[in-house]
Amino acid sequence: MATSVKQMLEAANAAVPKITSEQASEMIKNGNTLVLDVRDAPEVAASGKIAGAVNVSRGMLEFRADPESPYHDKAFDKSKTVILYCASGGRSALAGKLLKDMGYEKVFNVGGFKDWTGAVEK
């Protein structure tokens, strides 16, 4: 059975809680948090990113998140709270669902970078 983007986004939004910029800031303050920017590198270069965020484009996420992958990024740890964002919230929702499917339990979507009210680094 074919699945549409709309259906995939509905499933992702149902699985990954949406949080506000303020809630994300509080989680970051509490520590043991991975802030993940899933935008492509040119987007990040043009606008900057949330201070301390790790940029992994949506297309490389599975490879960076899987400890068995030769491309694994040590910033990924299933004991951490993961906060994702992209440009508008769609890719981060899909990425969050993927991480949940991979066994990450504490996964949240802050939505779009444009909605972020905290510190930014260029």
pLDDT the model gives residue 116: 94
Report the share of the chain in percent with pLDDT over 70: 99
Rounded to an integer, what distance in angstroms lies between the CA atom of residue 90 and that of residue 96? 10
Higher pLDDT, 1 or 18: 18
Q: Is the pLDDT of residue 6 over 80?
A: yes
Angle subtended at Cα 94 by Cα 89 and Cα 100, rounded to the nearest 5 degrees: 120
* Residues near 17 by beta carbon (within 8 Å), at least 6 away in sequence: 108, 109
CATH number, domain 17-77+85-114 = 3.40.250.10
pLDDT tops 70 at residue 1 = no
| Mean pLDDT, residues 19-48 | 96
pTM: 0.94
d(CA 76, CA 24): 18
Average pLDDT over residues 33-61: 96
- What is the spatial distance between Cα 100 and Cα 114, in angstroms, rounded to a whole number? 24
- Kindly tell me if the per-residue pLDDT of 88 is higher than 90: yes
pLDDT given at position 62: 96
> Is pLDDT above 70 for 38?
yes
Domain map of the chain by residue range? 17-77+85-114
Which residue, among 85, 83, 84, 87, has the nearest Cα to 43 in the 3D structure?
Answer: 87
